[in-house]
Amino acid sequence: MKHRLLFVFLSCALTALGQHVPTFEEVISLRTAGGVTMSPDGKSIVFGISTTDWSDNRYDNELWISRNGEAPYALTNTPKGNSTNAEFSPDGKWVAFLSNRGNKNQIHVVRVDGGEARAATNDEEGISAFQWHPSGSKFIFQKSEKEDKTKKDREKRYGGFEADDKEFTVQHLWQVEFNPNQRDPSEMPCYETSDSLKVKAGCIEWPKASRLTEGKFTVTGFSISPDGNMVAFSHQPDPMINSFIKSDVSMVDLSTKAVTKLVTNPSSDFFEDWSPDSKEILYSTNGSDTVANFYTNSKVYILNLASKSSRQIAKSFDEDLGGLTWKASGIFTAVQTKTKRPLYRIDPSTGNHTVFLQTPEQIFGLAFSKSGDRLAMTARNGDQLTEVFTTSITNPNPVRVTDMTAQIKDWKVATSEVISWKSKDGAVIEGVLHKPSNYDPARKYPLLVVIHGGPTGIDTPAPLPGSVYPIAQWVDKGALVLRVNYRGSAGYGEAFRALNVRNLGVGDAWDVLSGVDYLDSKKMIDRSKMGCMGWSQGGYISAFLTTNSTIFKAISVGAGISNWMTYYVNTDIHPFTRQYLKATPWSDEAIYKKTSPMTNINMAKTPTLIQHGEFDRRVPIANAYELLQGLRDKGVPSELIVYKGFGHGINKPKERLAANWHNWQWFGKYVWGETMELPLGK
């Protein structure tokens, strides 16, 4: 009894001190902010907040607004759908957004000063993207073509079949008028074939959209010129994922609908933004490089529309640039720079770049006022959740608009420390190390290594990293967690990203194992209690380690590649493999064997959990079954969990909860020697 009372007392005391350890459900239920946009005058901000709907097993995104620096409040409420892609009208009186409220995704509008949202379109195919015209009198939008009617006729006679990479629906640009006083057509519907006069008699109709582009290509992104006369757009031959390599940039004249090709390099070209005077465009390109653009830097150019001449900017910037915004005060973009993500400004006249804003440490989405004198952004520091900030451009001093981090103020979360070490070949590798809050340098701790995907992903300091890995709970349990930014990671320059070309798995394993050795040299870890895990590319590296190393007590492979040949013939991104391995399986079988986990399956001894989505096309589930069977044949403890209905990621809360539990059980059993059942209580 004394011990029980003491436990209750200590638990209450720890909670009072802000030491509550969050449950898996609490972490998954955190609200997150994103998708920020700013009013033309810079006084109001709209952003999205995502919440967890456990009943419907989905995430819901709704729009919130902050006016004149006041506390944000909800602007939309879509019970069975989402509201996204908000944009202010040019006069700042309306917010338009996309939402599916019973009739596919349509443009909806709501008054900034209050009122109910209403649909502005009723498009049969639904709308995937839109933008207000600068006049405020119409929308330019992007949508899919109608499905081929002959396909349904074919299915009636021959059933379902499809020719690989030949059957798809392209997207094009359209425009539709916006009437702020539009009445709902349900007030006076059209019955031209059933009323007594057989004519339309004063009925209310939805505005009719008119087409802007057509042809054998699909639009992937667009933007209206500031003067409202032109629309520049990126396009590729078809919507197949690998066709991005053939993307170009064109422009359509809104008065004549004439389309002009602007940038047509052999490799990928993407429109970035218009100049404020509408005389130039900004674009990124891989030029003629069609064999290395998965890991090399794209280049950024400015094209003068009158002279047709291009000039390169940010020549010395050693990272892959994109997501640029051009305002009168300069060209802005946030770029990963090691474990920080500052905001950079590029001078369009000189092409030189400088750091414009370094705090918060991680800057993501950007939105500017019309003049460019104010900025809204989503960003965070290493101990924060993502927040919405606003600042002036002339005197940058970010002011936080939201308080999402308040959700975790009483939680015991992971602390973060960026460390570095040298890999086997001398490459300097960084990682994020998480320690318990009561870390004792005199102790040796169990170690769990978590490996990000990509390979051009990046791990940064964060209070609750993990997604399907319960990192905060492991840290509280008394473990160190190391997240490795192995060779190939973004933020370290093009040469670093190329270090695992023809060296996948091999060099990546060097980076992980040398990180373990580094911590061991500091006498920080208990080598008898170590585990490793990762998803996607991180899952592949984990699989490589399970067949090429025996230092870990347990490994978890999430959606990982087990055999590059199996992967190559099944994945939806064949060029990825050809570019990184510089060969096909038929031209260089040796490199495929050298880098495949299955090659050394006979060496495998580590108990391995495999997690995979049933319908994963990026890393098809054949990779999971191949690794599983190889491990079973060798008598290695192994288990495969298939998440039904999922592709490459686990994007629903209940299955994400399950994945956390599966990893908690696996490492609990093999690292800590604990056995626990999946809780099924109400």
Domain, as residue range, for 638: 411-670
SS3 447: strand
Q: What is the pLDDT of residues 630-648, one digit of tens each?
A: 999 999 999 999 999 999 9
Give one DSSP letter per residue of 193-234, joined into a string: TTSTTSS--S---PPPPEE---SSSEEEEEEE-TTSSEEEEE
Tokens matching residue 132:
């207000």
How many domains does the chain divide into?
A: 1
Residue 4, in any domain of the structure: no
CATH number for the domain spanning 581: value is 3.40.50.1820
Residue 52, in any domain of the structure: no
pLDDT of res. 466:
86
Edge-first strand listing for the sheet containing 554-558: 417-422, 428-434, 480-485, 445-451, 525-535, 554-558, 608-613, 638-643
Tokens matching residue 233:
């757009």
Q: Interior CA angle at 82 toward 78 and 87, to 5°?
A: 100
In whole angstroms, give the CA distance from residue 559 to residue 618: 9
Residue 548, in any domain of the structure: yes
- Residue keyed to tokens 């590798």: 429
The two most distant CA atoms of the chain are separated, in Å, by: 92
In whole angstroms, give the CA distance from residue 587 to residue 577: 13
State which H helix or E strand residue 5 sits in.
helix 2-16
Residue 551, in any domain of the structure: yes
DSSP 494: H
- In 535-573, where does DSSP find H-type helix? 537-548, 564-570
pLDDT of res. 519:
98
Written in H, E and C, the secondary structure of 40-61 is: CCCCEEEEEEEEEECCCCEEEE
User: Of 532, 553, 539, 482, whose CA–CA distance to 505 is shortest?
Assistant: 539
Residue 597, in any domain of the structure: yes
Residue type at position 247: S
List of residues 6+ apart from 672 with CB closer than 8 A: 446, 477, 529
Pick out the chain residues at pLDDT < 70. Answer: 1-18, 191-201, 682
Q: What is the pLDDT of residues 10-52, one digit of tens each?
A: 333 334 345 799 999 999 999 999 999 999 999 999 999 999 9
Tokens matching residue 58:
């989905």
Residue 103, in any domain of the structure: no
What does residue 190 show for φ and ψ, rounded to 5 degrees?
-90, 130
What does residue 477 show for φ and ψ, rounded to 5 degrees?
-70, -15
Residue 8, in any domain of the structure: no
Give one DSSP letter per residue of 356-369, joined into a string: EE--SSEEEEEEE-
Residue 304, in any domain of the structure: no
Tokens matching residue 307:
């002279």
Task: Please check whether residue 91 is in contact with residue 43, taking contact to mean a CB–CB distance below 8 angstroms.
Answer: no
User: Of 302, 297, 328, 613, whose CA–CA distance to 456 is shortest?
Assistant: 297
